[in-house]
Structure formats: C-alpha cells, structure tokens
Amino acid sequence: MSVPRYWRESKYRYRLIGKRCMRCGALYYPRRAICTRCGSKELEEHQLSERGRIVSWTVIRNPPKDYERFAPYVVALVELEDGVRILSQIVDVEPEEVKAGMMVEATFRKIREDGTSGIIEYGYKFRPPVESKQDSS
C-alpha cells in the first residue's frame, strides 16, 4: 500500500465507519462499493454504532506470532445496535466473564507494533461499558 493511500484510509482503521445503501438502507462493514442486497452503487459513509452485544466468542490460548504476550484473549462476534456484525477483540474483562448477550462498547487501543522500535498500529476493540458518573448517581 502506498503512503498516501495509507493515510487516506486511516479514518477507516480508527473509527467504525461503514457504508449505507441509499436505495435499500442496507449497512455494510467493512465498506464496499456495491450493495449486495439490491445491486446499487449509491452508497454513502455511515458512522456505525459503537455499542452492541456479544453474539459468540472464542478464547485464543495459542496465538499467532507477535500476539503471544496477549494470551489468553477473547475474540468475539459483536452485533452493533444498528444490526451490523463485526469481529473484534474483547478487552478489560477476564475470558471466563464473557457471556452471550453481554453489552460492549468500542474503545481505542493498540493493535500491534512492528518489533520493539517499529510502527505502532491502533484501532478499535470492545470492552464492557464503563459507567459514567451520571449513570451511577
């Protein structure tokens, strides 16, 4: 990937931006150029919900190279409030505490780094909702 394209695409790496079909209303993530429901090419950017529920999950105990220090970790299928389903790591919770139907919210976290002195990549992960002070009073 070229450097200009990398920076042009960065907002899609850091935010939950999908596409919405102008004709039938279907939502897509990741983005696509053509609606698979109606065939329309009229799609616009759409900010997806940052809250959802866990549909299914797995605990990764034998991770791939460069992810060993995170093990064990949870990867889940999350259904966002607007109906879009995405895969994401679940953080800030012990693997045995994860349950189907559990509410989660998006959070900005480190995804990986290229060695000990290389580029650090960030993106979204999900965690149990953090109560605000207003919610708890």
Please name the fold of domain 49-130: OB fold (Dihydrolipoamide Acetyltransferase, E2P) (2.40.50)
- Residues 43/32, Cβ–Cβ less than 8 Å: yes
List, for residues 15-49, the tens digit of each pLDDT value: 889 999 999 999 999 889 999 999 999 999 999 99
Q: How far apart are CA 137 and CA 135, in angstroms?
A: 6
List, for residues 54-110, the tens digit of each pLDDT value: 999 999 999 998 788 889 999 999 999 999 999 999 999 999 999 999 999 999 888
Q: Which two tokens stand for residue 49?
A: 């919900």
List the chain domain ranges: 1-48, 49-130
